[in-house]
């Protein structure tokens, strides 16, 4: 594909309906340049094309779950001591965030 150009960045930004200033366009170009250099370094690794892609970073990880042992809960009144006076019937009252 070649190098990204300022025009390409503007075209993609327009297609995504985000529009960029000249400074933002330059920042994106600089970021792509770093990505391109990194990909070039990766491509120089001997036999990289023979490496099998991972499907998950923890494919070989074995999960050992602890035994579930019930413990006594902290009394609700004690937990609510951490709140200011904005509690009602054992629940914390918070400001409404949606209309």
76 within some domain: no
Question: Above 70 in pLDDT, residue 67?
Answer: yes
56 within some domain: no
Q: 40 lies in which domain range?
A: 6-49
35 within some domain: yes
Question: Above 90 in pLDDT, residue 44?
Answer: yes
Q: Residue 1 has what pLDDT?
A: 59
Average pLDDT of 33-45?
A: 93
pTM above 0.75, yes or no: no
14 within some domain: yes
Contact of 76 with 89, CB cutoff 8 Å: no
91 within some domain: no
Question: Above 80 in pLDDT, residue 70?
Answer: yes
Torsions phi, psi for 91 (to 5 deg): -125, 150
Domain count, the chain: 1
10 within some domain: yes
């Amino acid at each position: 594909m070649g190098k990204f150009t300022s025009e390409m960045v503007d075209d993609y930004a327009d297609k995504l309906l985000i529009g960029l200033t000249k400074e933002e366009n330059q920042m994106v170009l600089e970021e792509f340049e770093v990505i391109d250099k990194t990909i070039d370094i990766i491509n120089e690794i001997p036999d990289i094309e023979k490496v099998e892609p991972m499907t998950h970073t923890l494919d070989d990880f074995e999960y050992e779950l602890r035994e579930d042992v019930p413990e006594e809960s902290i009394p609700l009144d004690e937990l609510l001591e951490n709140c200011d006076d904005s509690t009602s019937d054992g629940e914390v009252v918070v400001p409404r965030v949606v209309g």
